């Protein structure tokens, strides 16, 4: 956590109740999760011993989120294989570099999430960060969407209807040649993709 002065102090009592010292109210783990999503910094301490419990409370929030259901299906974010690998790292004593690495990767992921969402939406036709996202069933689905995108691009770049008389004389040849080059490259890409089918 960052600056201790801007950090909200949460006291956890023996009866497991959480008390927000800033608002003088009892709160729940859901309230703490909302604080995290809102970018609010907090520290959880044991009311009797002042022991820092922030890590275990955050882990508990993640555990609860992993077990939350959306209808009948759980809404897991952490893949089973990832958790197995993480557990094996505990056994190997990798507690120094792994936390720093995971923190760095998560920081970079959050910074690039918008770019990733746009690129993935272009590929899959849907935002992978939205609820209800489903990955394509097969690589052929992905390839089919890519081919559809290329076809839309060809339709957009259709140069057969361009009338040279509407373009300024100096730019006519250069612009038409540039468009022809783009269409040629797209045709080559389409042929390459079709050969991979």
Find, among 182, 183, 120, 115, the residue nearest to 146 by Cα.
120
pLDDT reported for residue 96: 74
Find, among 89, 197, 71, the residue nearest to 143 by Cα.
197
Pairing status of strand 25-27 against strand 8-12: unpaired
Distance of CA 156 to the CA centre of its chain: 30
Q: Which residues contact 78 (CB under 8 A, 6 or more apart)?
A: 62, 66
Q: What is the mean pLDDT of residues 157-175?
A: 56
The domain limits of the chain are 1-75, 78-135, 139-195
β-bridge mates for residue 11, sequence order: 19, 45
pLDDT reported for residue 11: 97
β-bridge mates for residue 19, sequence order: 11, 26
Residue 22 has φ and ψ, to the nearest 5°, of -75, -40
pTM of the model: 0.55
Share of the chain above pLDDT 90, in %: 25
Q: Which residue has the tokens 């703490």?
A: 32
Q: For 136-155, how does the pLDDT look when each residue is reduced to its tens digit (9 = 90+)? A: 556 666 667 767 776 666 66
Q: For 38-80, how does the pLDDT look when each residue is reduced to its tens digit (9 = 90+)? A: 999 999 999 999 999 999 999 999 998 888 876 666 677 888 8
Q: Which structure tokens are listed for 92?
A: 């190997």
Query: Is residue 33 very low, low, confident or very high in pLDDT (cuts 50, 70, 90)?
Result: very high
Extract the runs of DSSP E, i.e. beta strands, from the chain. Answer: 8-12, 18-20, 25-27, 42-46, 69-70, 73-74
Extract the runs of DSSP E, i.e. beta strands, from 75-123. Answer: none
């Amino acid at each position: 956590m960052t600056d201790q002065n801007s950090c909200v102090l949460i006291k956890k009592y023996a009866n497991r109740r959480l008390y927000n010292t800033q608002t003088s109210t009892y709160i729940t783990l859901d309230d703490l999760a909302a604080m995290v999503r809102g970018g609010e910094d907090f520290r959880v301490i044991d009311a009797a011993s002042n022991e820092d419990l922030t890590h275990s409370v955050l882990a508990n929030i993640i555990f609860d989120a992993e077990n939350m259901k959306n209808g009948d299906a759980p809404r897991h974010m952490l893949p089973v294989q990832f958790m197995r690998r993480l557990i094996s790292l505990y056994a190997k004593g990798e507690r120094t570099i792994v936390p720093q690495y995971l923190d760095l990767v998560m920081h970079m992921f959050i910074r690039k999430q918008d770019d990733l969402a746009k690129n993935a939406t272009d590929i899959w036709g849907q935002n992978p960060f939205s609820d209800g996202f489903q990955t394509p069933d097969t690589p052929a689905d992905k390839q089919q969407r890519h081919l559809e995108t290329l076809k839309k691009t060809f339709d957009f770049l259709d140069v057969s209807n361009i009338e040279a008389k509407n373009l300024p004389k100096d730019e006519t040849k250069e612009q038409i040649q540039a468009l022809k080059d783009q269409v040629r490259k797209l045709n080559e890409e389409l042929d390459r993709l079709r050969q991979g089918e």
